Amino acid sequence: MTKILVAEDEEAIANLIYMNLVKTGYKVEIAYDGKSAADLMSNYTFDLCLFDIMLPLIDGYELLEYAKLLDVPVIFLTAKGETQDKVKGLRLGADDYVTKPFQIIELLARVESVLRRYQKVEQVIKSGNIELDIRSRIVKKDGTEIDLTCKEFDLLMLFMQNQNIALYRETIYERVWGGDLLEGCRTVDLHVQRLKKKLAIEQRIETIYKVGYRFKGV
Amino acid sequence: MTKILVAEDEEAIANLIYMNLVKTGYKVEIAYDGKSAADLMSNYTFDLCLFDIMLPLIDGYELLEYAKLLDVPVIFLTAKGETQDKVKGLRLGADDYVTKPFQIIELLARVESVLRRYQKVEQVIKSGNIELDIRSRIVKKDGTEIDLTCKEFDLLMLFMQNQNIALYRETIYERVWGGDLLEGCRTVDLHVQRLKKKLAIEQRIETIYKVGYRFKGV
DNA sequence: TATATTAGCTACAATTTTGATACAATTTAA
DNA sequence: TTAAATTGTATCAAAATTGTAGCTAATATA
């Protein structure tokens, strides 16, 4: 999951950003001052940072230097539309710049753009000895590649994205095949079966009688 | 010397940009409409493009697509401060965006920033015994040059820029040919086949049934 | 325990997808 | 202009995936 660090001292703006990023599917940490942001950076790995320039304790420019050191892309947020700041930010190596007040959709677009550029979008899901890479569509068990068909891969991806969650047959069908599951259709069962067999993970995919299946996480 | 293409129909702005870029030490070509810009792009290699969005004959968005095909970074210039345009531009893959009226120093900073960002991107991609130089469009295998056609080169470049990533036929078509892949069109398959044969790398381009192809990195 | 429903299993056939080759259309070069 | 190269379409064969059918085993409930 893609992790984003937001350093912003105005709580209202921080919350607005937080909610929208989370809703979009990112994992987000908030720091209300520069010191906390730096601490978070040294303890966790982030895929992207959003920094206000004017921050208590440590300002955005200093944070930027630190982020560059760690090779994490940075987008600056600032109330000042002043050109001088923009120039300084970009010269120092910020990846982008958004001026407050900004439309949230613009921020999201820039976030996406920078992430795409950096290819930091996380795409590998691990669970026990199973590893699924969404980008390459390669599945490994104990490090050795397992050859899955298209549907099998999609099914496993759904399971691994929803570990320890009961998935109704209807839900599975809808998410993997699209459309509605017809009465008496055994397609889902059959594919679950094939997946179990290929990966030899009979015990990790539990059948929930009259409901569907559940992939046990570790 | 770094070469920049400016496509801008307002002469006053074009001149302002031209003078400042030249003064900073860049080599600059000006096009007053989209068609001339496209012609220049096909005849010369640029390191960066500055495109106005609203242009006679061919608009900035179309030029962007062409530039992306040639792997040239693009900064959009536009009079419209509208968020929608910004979003559209960034989504389509523009590297940055400057709204008119802009301070020339801000434009210069963004130019510098994008160039710096791109110069980090290697112009020669190596993978095993295969070596692809984007600028000279030369491909070598075990040090000896392999003669590829235009499409074959673009295809290989896409593969080498996306090693170990499952590329959907739709994506491949969009990125190499542009536009949408029509139902039942076998063009991608055929070119992959030809590429495999010419380079004798059958084992390095894997077919992903019902999805597309994957170039195995080393 | 009996019964009805639900899920597991196997085989097979239909469909879809891909590989290979030939050939025509178009563009580029001589 | 002619020749050569590139590019895409058509066709056929081969391969893989996918879902149905039919049977058996398991489960829940009365």
pLDDT for A124: 85
How much is the pLDDT for A93? Answer: 64
Q: What is the topology classification, in CATH, of domain A132-215? A: Arc Repressor Mutant, subunit A (1.10.10)
pLDDT for the residue numbered B117: 67
- Tell me the pLDDT band of B103, cut-offs 50, 70 and 90: low
CB contact under 8 A, A83 and B105: yes
Above pLDDT 70, what percent of chain A? 91
The per-residue pLDDT for range B147-158, each reduced to its tens digit, is: 999 999 999 999
Q: B interface toward A at CB cutoff 8 Å?
A: 83, 86-87, 90-91, 95-96, 103, 105-106, 109-110, 112-113, 116-117, 164-166, 208-211, 214
- The span from the CA of A135 to the CA of B217, in Å, is 14
Q: Kindly state the helix (H) or strand (E) to which residue B194 belongs, with its residue range.
A: helix B187-199
CB A43 within 8 A of CB A31: no
Domain ranges of chain B: 3-120, 124-215
pLDDT in tens, B22-76: 877 788 999 999 888 988 888 888 889 999 888 888 888 888 888 887 888 899 8
| Residues A99-151 pLDDT 10s | 777 778 888 888 988 887 776 555 789 999 999 999 899 999 999 999 999 99
pLDDT band at B120 (very low <50, low <70, confident <90, very high): very low
Nucleotide nearest to A212 (CA to C1'): C7
pLDDT (mean) for A35-60: 85
Best A71, A76, A87, A112 residue to mutate vs chain B (most B CBs within 10 Å): A87
Nearest nucleotide, CA A184 to C1': C6
Residue A93 · residue A49 · CB < 8 Å: no
Question: CATH topology for B3-120?
Answer: Rossmann fold (3.40.50)
The pLDDT of residue B187: 95
- Average pLDDT, integer, range A184-206: 92
Fold of the CATH domain B124-215: Arc Repressor Mutant, subunit A (1.10.10)
Three-point CA angle B109, B114, B118, nearest 5°: 145
Element (H, E) at A209: none
Chain A residue with minimum CA distance to B211: A150
* A83 has a pLDDT exceeding 60: no
User: What pLDDT is stored for residue A88 in this prediction?
Assistant: 58
Q: How far apart are CA B18 and CA B26, in angstroms?
A: 9
Summarised one tens digit per residue, pLDDT across range A167-182 is 999 999 999 998 888 8
pLDDT of residue B121: 42
Rounded to the nearest angstrom, the minimum Cα separation between B98 and chain A is: 11
Residue appearing with tokens 């040294």 = A42
CATH number of A3-118: 3.40.50.2300
Q: Output the distance from B210 CA to D22 C1' rounded to whole Å.
A: 29
